Structure 1
Amino acid sequence: MEQVQQLLIASEQLYSHLTSLPADKERDAYIEKIDSLLDIRGAIINDLQANFPDALCNHPLTEHLVKLDKGIQERLLKVKNLIKVDMQQLQTTKTSEQKYTNPYASVRTMDGMYFDGKK
């Protein structure tokens, strides 16, 4: 049952890492750390399910692990929403920059051309 304790430690590390949100400059390292902690935790869960499928059924730490998992999911959702907002702002910045460099790109003009609609 040592793997259950490893899962608890990995979950607590991830949970504590997700408690604070980083500054803009530190966001890449923050996300990489989340990714590595999720990989470690996922490997422990996969190993636990493969070797001991019923290990968490009546274990005393199961309730604490479930609470940690809910907290982790909520905080990952907050991080995801932050990233989504940043991506939307980046897309808005890109489109406004394109409109600034070429303001008439969206206008369809056909100066000097005549299309006969009859066949």
Structure 2
Amino acid sequence: MTNQKKSAEELLLEFHKLENLSKIKTRTISSENGVFLLDRNNPNDVEWYKEIDLKNNNVNKAMEYAKASQAMEGLKVSHEQEKLILDIMNGEISEEEFNQRARKLANE
């Protein structure tokens, strides 16, 4: 391993590649001061992990309910639609991006 200096973008790309290979996904929390990575082995971060797991469980239950409701109407939620909904619920995209992508999906 070399001690070469890397830019923030290079480090983020390397981190993203490692995360894709890992079975355990890194959790983050956003604040006014930026985005923080949480360490599941750090006792101070464990509570955040539990809170995020609870939120994800609620989001998944809501998604399953919505899909079942649509199925009762004879409609099917596509993988792309489900991903879009999860992205907005998890705060990964802005409302503006959600609306743009939703319109695009509706026109396909």
RCO higher in structure (CA 8 A, sep ≥6): 1
Which is helix-richer, 1 or 2? 1
Q: Could you state the TM-score of these two structures normalised by the residue count of structure 1?
A: 0.29
Which is strand-richer, 1 or 2? 2
Higher-Rg member (1/2): 1
Q: Could you state the TM-score of these two structures normalised by the residue count of structure 2?
A: 0.32
